[in-house]
Amino acid sequence: ALEKCGWEVLRPCAGISMVAKPSFLNKAVKLSNSFKDTGEGQKNGTYEVKLDDSTIREAIVKTTGLCINGGSWTGIPGYCRFTIALEDSEFEQALDCLVKFKSIVGN
């Protein structure tokens, strides 16, 4: 599922998580945030971020609700950590979030 959504997966040998790198790093995505100051005295609206190690986690959470660990957490540049030890319904929901994010970044 990760590979179909544009992620390069490092095959795990065991454990409860997987590590993968998105093919869409360096692409820009629009996020909305009611707390970000837009610079014009407004605290609502959208802003654009370039996807990298420091922004990928925030972008996925804000656009899909899926929480992952970004590259700074894994210590492997560009690679994120996905926990796969979930209840079946949560796992299916996470897969839906991956598909949603793929459609957002257009990859």
> pLDDT tens digits for the chain (107 residues)?
999 999 999 987 878 889 999 999 999 988 876 555 555 555 567 888 999 988 999 899 999 999 999 888 888 889 999 988 888 999 999 999 999 999 999 85
Contact 29, 59 (CB under 8 A): yes
Contact 67, 61 (CB under 8 A): yes
Q: Does 75 map to a domain?
A: yes
Q: Which helix (H) or strand (E) holds 64?
A: helix 56-64
pTM, to two decimals: 0.80
Computed from CA positions of residues 82, 83, 88, 94, in that sequence, does the dihedral angle turn out positive or negative?
negative
CA distances from 81 to 22, 34, 43 (A): 11, 27, 31
Structure confidence at residue 39 (pLDDT) = 58
**Which domain range does residue 16 map to?**
2-34+45-106
Q: Does 30 map to a domain?
A: yes
Q: Does 39 map to a domain?
A: no
